[in-house]
Structure 1
Amino acid sequence: MSVTRRQALQIGGLGIIGAFGLAVPLTSVNAKSASQLASRNMPKPFQRTLPIPEVLRPSSTVVDPDGHKRHLYKIEQKAALANIVPGLSTPILGYNGTFPGPTIKVNQGERITLEMDNVLPLFHPQWGYRLDTSTHLHGSASLPQFDGYANDLTGLGYCKDYEYPNFQPARTLWYHDHAVHNTAQSVYSGLAAQYHLHDEVEGSILPQGRFDVPLTVSDAMFAANGSLGYNDNTHSGLWGDVILVNGAPWPVMKVQRRIYRFRILNASIARSYRFSLSTGDAMTIVATDGGLMPAAQQVTNWRHGGAERYEVLIDFSKYPVGKRVELRNLSNKNNVDYDFTNRVMAFDVTDEPVDTSGPGARVLPTLLAPSTAMSLKTSDSVKTRRMRVKRDLDVWTIGGMTWDEVVESGYRKVLANPDLDDVEIWEIENSSGDGSIRSTSIWWTSRSSAATGRHPSPTSVGPRTLSTWARARRSGCS
Structure 2
Amino acid sequence: MSISRRQVLVGGGLGVLGGAALLVPTRSIDAKSISRLAPGDMPRPFQTALTQAPILQPDSTGIDPVDGAPVRYFTLTEMAATAAILPRLKTPILGYNGMFPGPTISLDQGTKAVLRVRNQLPAVHPFDGHPLTTSTHLHGSASLPQYDGYASDITSPGFRKDYRYPNAQPARTLWYHDHGVHYTALNVYSGLVGQYHLHDPLERALLPQGRYDVALSISDAIFAANGTLSYTDDSHSGLWGDVILVNGRPWPVMKVQKRIYRFRILNCCISRSLRPSLSTGDPVTFVGVDGGLLPLSQTVGSWRHSSAERYEILVDFRKYSTGQRIVLRNLSNPNNVDYDYTNRIMAFDVTDEPVDVSDPTWNTIPAQLATNNPVMALSPSEARKVRKFRVKRDDVTNMWNINGETWQDVISSGYKRVIADPGLGDVEIWEFENSSGGWFHPLHIHLIDFKILSRNGRPPFAYEKGPKDVVYIGEGETVRLLMKFGPHKGRYMLHCHNLPHEDHDMMVQFRVGPEDNFDPNDPITAAPATWDG
Q: Please, what TM-score do these two structures have when normalized by structure 1?
A: 0.93
Which of 17, 22, 42 aligns to 1:20? It is 17
Per the alignment, residue 381 of structure 1 pairs with: 383
- How far residue 85 of structure 1 moved from its aligned partner, in angstroms, is 1.3
Cα 1:439–1:282, aligned 2, differ >3 Å: closer, same or farther?
closer
Structure 1 residue 412 corresponds to structure 2 residue 416: yes
Rounded to whole Å, the distance in 2 between the matches of 1:251 and 1:101 is 18
Per the alignment, residue 9 of structure 1 pairs with: none
CA contact (8 A) 2:217 2:267 kept: yes
CA contact (8 A) 1:26 1:230 kept: no
Cα 1:115–1:357, aligned 2, differ >3 Å: closer, same or farther?
farther
AA in 1 matched with 2:43: P
Structure 1 residue 438 corresponds to structure 2 residue 441: yes
Rounded to whole Å, the distance in 1 between the matches of 2:420 and 2:25 is 42
Per the alignment, residue 302 of structure 1 pairs with: 303
Map 1:37-116 onto structure 2 (within 5 A): 37-66=37-66, 67-116=68-117
Which gives a bigger RCO, structure 1 or 2 (Cα 8 Å, sep 6+)?
A: 1
Per the alignment, residue 485 of structure 2 pairs with: none
* Secondary structure in structure 2 of the residue aligned to 1:355: coil
CA contact (8 A) 2:259 2:316 kept: yes
Cα 1:432–1:451, aligned 2, differ >3 Å: closer, same or farther?
closer
CA contact (8 A) 1:384 1:426 kept: yes
Deviations 1:200-243 (A, max 9, x none): 00000100011100000011111111111112111111111111
Deviations 1:102-161 (A, max 9, x none): 000000000110000000100012332110000000000001110000000001111000
- How far residue 438 of structure 1 moved from its aligned partner, in angstroms, is 3.4
Count of aligned pairs: 460
Q: Percent identity?
A: 57
CA contact (8 A) 1:236 1:437 kept: no
Q: Which consecutive residues of structure 2, in runs of 5 or more, have no partner in the other structure? A: 1-12, 471-493, 495-522
- How far residue 22 of structure 1 moved from its aligned partner, in angstroms, is 4.4
Higher strand share: 2
Per the alignment, residue 461 of structure 1 pairs with: 465
Per the alignment, residue 366 of structure 1 pairs with: 367
Per the alignment, residue 322 of structure 1 pairs with: 323
AA in 1 matched with 2:389: M
* Secondary structure in structure 2 of the residue aligned to 1:317: coil
Per the alignment, residue 390 of structure 1 pairs with: 392
Which of 465, 471, 476 aligns to 2:528? It is 471
Higher mean C-alpha deviation, range 38-47 or range 404-413: 404-413
Rounded to whole Å, the distance in 2 between the matches of 1:404 and 1:111 is 34
Rounded to whole Å, the distance in 2 between the matches of 1:432 and 1:330 is 23
- How far residue 355 of structure 1 moved from its aligned partner, in angstroms, is 2.3
Higher mean C-alpha deviation, range 394-403 or range 218-227: 394-403
Deviations 1:141-195 (A, max 9, x none): 0011100000000011110000001000000000000000011111110000000
* Secondary structure in structure 2 of the residue aligned to 1:184: helix
* Secondary structure in structure 1 of the residue aligned to 2:73: strand
Q: Which consecutive residues of structure 1, in runs of 5 or more, have no partner in the other structure? A: 1-15
- How far residue 254 of structure 1 moved from its aligned partner, in angstroms, is 0.5
Higher mean C-alpha deviation, range 22-31 or range 314-323: 22-31
Rounded to whole Å, the distance in 1 between the matches of 2:186 and 2:336 is 19
Per the alignment, residue 344 of structure 2 pairs with: 343
CA contact (8 A) 1:118 1:157 kept: yes
Per the alignment, residue 499 of structure 2 pairs with: none
Higher mean C-alpha deviation, range 226-235 or range 393-402: 393-402
Q: Please, what TM-score do these two structures have when normalized by structure 2?
A: 0.84
Deviations 1:4-34 (A, max 9, x none): xxxxxxxxxxxx9645334533424661001
Per the alignment, residue 206 of structure 1 pairs with: 207
AA in 2 matched with 1:32: K
CA contact (8 A) 1:26 1:35 kept: no
AA in 2 matched with 1:80: A
Higher mean C-alpha deviation, range 170-179 or range 25-34: 25-34
AA in 1 matched with 2:22: P
